Structure 1
Amino acid sequence: MLRDFSTCHDDFNLKPPDGILKEHTFSWLGFVQYLHVTTGLPHHSKAPRVVLIHKQFSVGTATDMLNLPKNYKLGNVIFGDYERDEEDCGLTRTQAKMGVKCPRAYFEMPLVDITPHPEYSRFGVGNSLALVKFLRPVKSHYMIPICLPTLIERETKRKNKAVFMVDYLSSVPKDFDSEKMAKKTLKMYTHKDCRRHRMRSQLGSEGVTHVLCSSGCGIRPGAPIVSHALEGTFQLIGIAAGGAPCARRSMRRKLNREPPLYIDVYPYASWIINYITAHVLPRPYPENFMLAEEGSSMGIHREYLRARRKQKSGWRARTYVTGDYCFKSLKKQRKTAFFYSEQFEVNADPPAKLNVIMKLSAGIECTIVCARLLLPNRLSKPEIEGVGGYNITITFNTLWFPYTFYFSLGLNGKNTTERDFSKWIVERSPGFW
């Protein structure tokens, strides 16, 4: 369960410009419908946004989830840009070779429970977060949640202030098959800056305990502001509590007299993780605990004594990762350096089959701890050998691809230890180096 939070939207090549987004760009954004208790029709002007943070949980504002309009009830959570994988839509390997893709789809998920933060239910805080639990986890492998924010990324955005907002074009999406999303770059201001600005404008209290504000206007409740970290993770910085409508076009680019407010997500990150993982009880003893005549002791696995052990590997959406650091928390991943990123593309007419063998060396001063290979689909499983050292070998085949095949490679590394350096120095060839 804890590892699920490190398996989040991680794409170091995705840098879309402002404006209307292509489909399957940010599929973790959804919305909740307000349905009339008598007619069953959706509300004409309100559809609060929610953000997928776990396969079975999303997060939104507590006010929009619990204080419903009169004569309305909560409907299903809808993801208007649901991305299905080949198994989910029944796509065969032969169809994938011909270039057939899963058709566009939307996804309706029934709700099981809504849990607001205790500050909202017990202490009457005006705006806070609420967790929305689904009936079952999201099935598609390509529907991955957004990452929770880290302290380092939050401090970085506090200095450079560059974030972006993602939202649907329509205030109440209805035609799901043709609904579009858009991206808008904004300037973010911290609680201190926002409070000072509101006092200067003689406005009242913000009504939230952890508040951010930004440039722009007309922000809809629940819309997220997002940060794209250097290593590729998309992190949820804030969730909109609302904002004044745009009276003039010039208001969209500057800090207004009454700026839109956001709930700062980072202070709630530990509560989110604790609540979602609370129903999974840990084992009373670790697996390597054993009893001896002299008393209890911790057994040591033989493989832990090796200089290099086999690294973990697995899929993360369309990205195949190898390396123990790839499965650790974002905080521990930030201790490494994302030092290599390159995208490759092959064009062939008529379609062809490609066998790829790549050998890369980072030099003995750098230990490669995580390798990420982004592929068009999950139908061919690659092999990445050598992670944990300074040389890696990547091998995979493309089968028969339709005219264009692309893949991207990203590497994380850290400084080589003295022990490994002395072990590897004999491998250094004077002619090559």
Structure 2
Amino acid sequence: MVKNRQLLLIYALVLIDVVVGAAISPVMPQFVAGRSHPELWLSGATALFLGLQLFSGPLLGKLADAVGRRPILIVSSVGTALANLLLLPVKAGLLLVNRVSDGLTNGMFATVRSAITDVSPKENLVKNLGIQGTIVSLGNVLGPMVAGGLLTIFTIPEKEQTNYIIYIALGLSVLNIGTSLLIGETCPKKEELDRSKLKQTIFESINPVALWRQLVEKEAERPGLQTLVLTRTVLALTQGYYTYFVTYLALGPLQFGTKAISYFFIYYGGFSVITSFVFYRFLTDRLNQTKTVLWFAILGVPVLIGYSLVGTSTLVLYGLVAIDCLSIGLISGIVEGLIAERTEEADRGTLFGLVQGMQGFASLVTTLLFGALSALDLRLPFIWFSITMAVVIWLAYRTHRDKPALFTKD
């Protein structure tokens, strides 16, 4: 049971933000309906969103250390509301504009992780960040539930369904602005704002070599950080399949419509909520975390290959999702918690921004790749995702073999 009011408000902010994004996801194919190569339009929109996070994540993280977490959370919430307003009317061009606007402010998750770390005792860091992951999963249930429920309960003409869902998302975005205003400052000790350093941060954030150099410098002070961030970055390559699912389900052999996509994400998110809650609440502190990541990654490879082979079988798809939630879906929370343990108050936002920048670069690369592969065959991206998961296996094995002290539990 979470008793910290600040933590509850931060979790509420995360939940509403994810609900908004998840509610809109099932209707995104409607923005490119009738266009040639709609899979490329959807991949391009995702690439825009992720590409802008290359610098927005590190920049907002740096600003959070200078001006505080609260102002960044407020600005990001306002940005999300404006981005959703740009989705009206339903046009492909406005979807791209929305992705640009939302990408500029979605770097707030570096600030969210910093705020959670600020208010969490060290012994609860992995658990509290794991709960954040559970809340993200819950949001992925509630978002499609909002969309699917609206379309099921009310008789809404098909041409107006997308607009109604966007209206709801816009209303929730406004609610989240109010939530952000209720959150107090979690880091009263701030560093001096240096505009030249901000410019340097923007430049370095779009330069993966510079990001890596920063990470090497941090490694000297905090052994093990480099390996953890590298693992999280490679995992971001794998997690591109989360965003690819909408394209695959809508345009692939299953030919899911808006309702079917909504129901799929309700099931996926619901199963993930249950498994994440049980794992982070009762198991995570008792396990050898190196071995846990290793075995989850090993289990994940056949799951990802299996997605490419489901054909028209909804039953097989849903079975694979269950295994997914018991393996791949739990890895990131473990790794992020261990990264958080290696942060300090003075540069926490900067470090989380650096991590998000690395993830953003990886997410952009994987989006461009799966977009190109999907144009050849909609099944090919899952082969790419399985290869990246194999790299996670190698990193986890190397860590377990060479650096067992990296992880807190034996």
Q: TM-score, normalised by structure 2?
A: 0.25
**Structure 1 or 2: larger helix share?**
2
Which structure would you say has the larger Rg? 1
**Greater relative contact order structure (CA < 8 Å, 6+ sep):** 2
**Structure 1 or 2: larger strand share?**
1
